[in-house]
Structure 1
């Protein structure tokens, strides 16, 4: 029996979003095909390295909105979320809290060519309670 997928989580690393949107593109297409809702989330650092960012939530929410404007998910209901903390832990926690059916995540940081699966994706695959679809680069 096929599992019903109604809610998909796609974490986006906004520092690399200009480099590669393959996981996001895949998540949007999956949401369209399955008539599912999509949560697009980013995880901000606990302490900003850029001292010009006074309100981290406001800044990253704005960046996420810019990302969505540049990459519209036409025909898909999208919710944007910003979390703070360790990326791998926050993705798993958010998926659990929101009771998502599927996480669509990139395999690795674009700068890490030596690994088949990045540490964030590995942690999510190992600890998520839902299915995880890993998009290879």
Structure 2
């Protein structure tokens, strides 16, 4: 029996969004097919490396708003969320808090250190209570 999808979470790394929007594009199409709500989220770092950014959550929230407006969602309901902290943990927490049915996220091609240290995608796959669809960039 097919899975019922009402809420989709798509974490977006705003720093790398110029390089690829594959996961967002896939999440948007999935939301259209299922008539589901799409939560587009970004996680701001606890400590911003760029000292010109005084409020990382506010700054990255504005950048996320720009990203969403550039990538039209059509008739899909989109909720924008910015969290602050460790990316892998915040994605899992947000998915649980919002009762997400599926997470659609991007993962770069693996390197040796990814197998030893773990990646954001592998942590989310291992710890999320919902399905996780990983899109290769």
Shorter-chain TM range is over 0.9
Determine the structure 2 residue equivalent to 1:130: 130
User: What is the correspondence of 1:66-105 to structure 2 with a 5 Å cutoff?
Assistant: 66-105=66-105
Question: What is the deviation of 1:3?
Answer: 1.6
Q: Which runs of 5+ in 2 are unaligned?
A: none
Output the TM-score relative to the length of structure 1.
0.92
Could you tell me which of 111, 115, 119 is aligned with 1:114? Answer: 111
* 2:63 matched residue in structure 1: 63
Query: Aligned ranges for residues 39-54 of structure 1 at < 5 Å?
Result: 39-54=39-54
Tell me if 1:18 matches 2:15.
no
Over 3 Å counting, the alpha-carbon distance change for 1:129 and 1:113 in structure 2 is closer
Where has structure 1 moved over 2 Å in runs of 4 or more?
112-118
Residue aligned with 1:52, SS: coil
Give 3-state SS (helix, strand or coil) of 2:15's partner: coil
- 1:45-87 CA deviation, whole Å, 9 max, x = no partner? 0011111111222111100001011111111000000001111
More helix by share: 2
Task: Output the TM-score relative to the length of structure 2.
Answer: 0.92
**RMSD, matched Cα:** 1.6
